[in-house]
Amino acid sequence: MKFFSLILYSFFLSSVAAYGAKAAWEKILYYNTYLLEEQAFGDDSSKYAVGVGCAGSRPGGRCTFGEFTEYIWKTNVLKNPDGTTYNAPKPAPLPENFPGSGDLKTWLKTNPVTITQRLIQTKYVMNVDGAKVNGEPNYYASLEKIGQDFRRALDATPKVETATQQLVERANLAVRTVEQLRIKDIDSFKVGKGGANVGDLAKILRDKFGDPGFDIVRKDSLEKVVNEPNYRKQLDYSGTIEKYKDEHPNIKAALDDALNTWGSKQTNINHMNAANAATNAKLAMGCT
């Protein structure tokens, strides 16, 4: 099993992260913790911390992975053209045979890569309600606390069983993958992923150079590489330096300054918070 985990981990660190992969792996982590609490606390639901309000079809009213995923989904608030808001409709229920759904044995024998690949194709991959996951007010606090929830359940497990060992390995794989994908997020957004952010960088440099004709060189984002439909352009760092090195000899230093200025924006801060939450969850779990 450990060999299997190492193969998957190496695969995800060496491959391009598709949109939503990090969120899908987070749900793998949440559900493994949910199941580990069953191993630790049995029928004593008063000790459960994860998904406590989820009522499902498994014995004791416990939830399958599909039911758990639907339960922790958070309603997305959208805006009308006039500025008013409305709640997006909840996606259609996941099929009963969704990969990994069923009893504990089904979960453990289902390849987590298969689960994440299927989940990415659904609208349930995003918008997690931290309060439903483990009682926390937001995503960042929920992700960080899941590490503590996991450790608490692991420490309370009466004996080391095969199922417990498998849950631990799958959870460790998930949290390491989430951490690395969140770190990749920081790198991606730091170079201006998203059209508006690229425009911000261009404006900063136009003002700095006093050159209204300056524009950064753009390239396809990671999503375009993996054929995601909603890709945007991002900064071509080396391409921009090459294009303007003669006209603006200090282009590299100016571009780095612009990135640092943009990096203080809330979007980038959010991605840093997510990566930090994943790291702290990993440390709390005792995963290295």
pLDDT (tens digit, 0 to 9) for every residue of the chain, 288 residues total? 443 444 444 444 333 333 489 999 999 999 999 999 999 999 999 999 999 999 999 999 999 999 999 999 998 888 888 888 888 888 899 999 999 999 999 999 999 999 999 999 998 987 899 999 999 999 999 999 999 999 999 999 977 778 999 999 999 999 999 998 887 776 565 544 443 467 777 888 999 999 999 998 887 654 443 343 333 467 778 889 999 999 999 998 998 888 776 656 666 677 778 888 999 999 999 986
- Check residue 203 and give its pLDDT: 86
- Check residue 108 and give its pLDDT: 96
- Check residue 11 and give its pLDDT: 41
CB 56 within 8 A of CB 63: yes
- Check residue 222 and give its pLDDT: 47
